[in-house]
Amino acid sequence: MDDLFKRMTNFIREVGADEVSHSEKTYLAHAIGVHNDLREWNCDESMCCAGVFHSIYGTELFQRFTLPLERRGEVRDLIGERAEQLAYLNCAMDRTHFDRSVFQTAGPYAVLDRFTDQEVVVSVDEFDELARLHLCDWLEQVVRAKMWDYRRDAYRQMAKRLGGIAEKSYEEVFAKEQPSTEAVSDPR
């Protein structure tokens, strides 16, 4: 096991997030799953580190553990500036705003920071990295969560936008959806 990975998982244990429930797993198990999936997607070390910390500050949906924002410096020192910024933006993003941006065909791109209520302008590459992190996070858990229709169009668009392994992974994961989870029309 490489030293950085061990230090990252130890940090999560030290802050008490390791056994927090997350999509029928522990927070740590889910974070490791996202890290490993990003590695399988041939992402660089910085992206994989962001995967471990993708929801460390809490997200709109995940609030069972939130590391105080005052501790961002500790995370940055551990995983690097780029990885921490991606993890922070994934936590801070207003999902509705982000979903609209995913359908944009050109920049500029902005992420609405729900903590500050300010827009953060990001480059096309940064936006795509954030979409990759966000999509990978969802694909790692959607089968367990069984929330197939949660932001489905946006996740499909992220996969299409990123193409390659992201699109292939999206198709493979969503092929596992059981017909009974689809919307049923009102029989009246």
pLDDT of residue 22: 64
Tell me how far apart the alpha carbons of residues 116 and 114 are, in angstroms, rounded to a whole number. Answer: 6
Q: Are 51 and 31 in contact (CB under 8 A)?
A: yes
Question: Buried b vs exposed e over 114-151: b needs ≥16 C-beta within 10 Å?
Answer: beeeeebebeeebbbbbbbbbbbbbbbbbeeeeebeeb
CB atoms within 10 A of CB 55: 24
What pTM did the predictor assign?
0.91
CATH of domain 3-165: 1.10.3210
Divide the 188 residues of the chain into consecutive groups of 10 and give the mean pLDDT of each group.
90 86 79 96 97 92 81 97 97 96 93 97 96 97 92 97 97 88 41
pLDDT of residue 171: 97
Tell me how far apart the alpha carbons of residues 55 and 27 are, in angstroms, rounded to a whole number. Answer: 9
pLDDT of residue 180: 57
Tell me how far apart the alpha carbons of residues 143 and 178 are, in angstroms, rounded to a whole number. Answer: 10
pLDDT of residue 21: 63
Query: What residues contact 28, with CB distance under 8 A and at least 6 apart?
Result: 9, 12, 13, 17, 18, 19
pLDDT of residue 73: 97
Domain boundary assignment for the chain: 3-165
Tell me how far apart the alpha carbons of residues 27 and 169 are, in angstroms, rounded to a whole number. Answer: 22
Tell me how far apart the alpha carbons of residues 140 and 137 are, in angstroms, rounded to a whole number. Answer: 5
Amino acid, single-letter form, for residue 178 = Q
pLDDT of residue 187: 38
